[in-house]
Amino acid sequence: MPQSPVIENRSGQRYVAAFPIRAEWDTNDGVHIVAEGETDNVGPEGTLIHLQRDLPPVGGRVNLLVLGDDGEKLRVIAEVLRIERNPSHPQAALQVLGETAEWRGLVWEEAAIKMSQSDDDYDEDDF
């Protein structure tokens, strides 16, 4: 049976970067959830986050706070595109709504810098 091709909707390069985050959302039952975690990777318009337990519903909105060394780096609203219910590593893919210029400047570009610095620190001759 032929398989349908997978369409890739991502725009721009994604960088592996672990920024601490706090996510808030309301469940379908009206319960307000506050969860902490970190980003797994960062793209120019979204991120894949790892949360400890609770995951937001697909299609829902999340108030996402990205934390930096000095506290709050950026607060954005994001839509949940998909979730991964892996018991050991639950994840949610989020697309930033609205503040994409701020996201690119404060989060995505910093992730690129951190990744290039880690590449500079890695030398295959050291192993």
Q: Between these two residues, 5 and 117, which has the higher pLDDT value?
A: 117
Q: How many domains does the chain have?
A: 1
Q: Is position 4 within any domain?
A: no
DSSP string spanning the chain?
-PPPPPP----S--EE---EEEEEEE-TTS-EEEEEEEEEEE-SSEEEEEESS--PPTT-EEEEEEEETTEEEEEEEEEEEEEE--TTS-EEEEEEES-HHHHIIIIIHHHHHHHHHHHHH--GGG-
Q: Check pLDDT > 60 for residue 5.
A: no
Q: Is position 8 within any domain?
A: no
Q: What is the CATH number of the domain that holds 33?
A: 2.40.10.220
At 26-70, the pLDDT tens digits run 988 899 999 999 999 999 999 999 998 899 999 999 999 999 888
At 61-87, the pLDDT tens digits run 999 999 988 889 999 999 999 999 998
| Confidence category of residue 117, pLDDT binned at 50, 70, 90 | confident
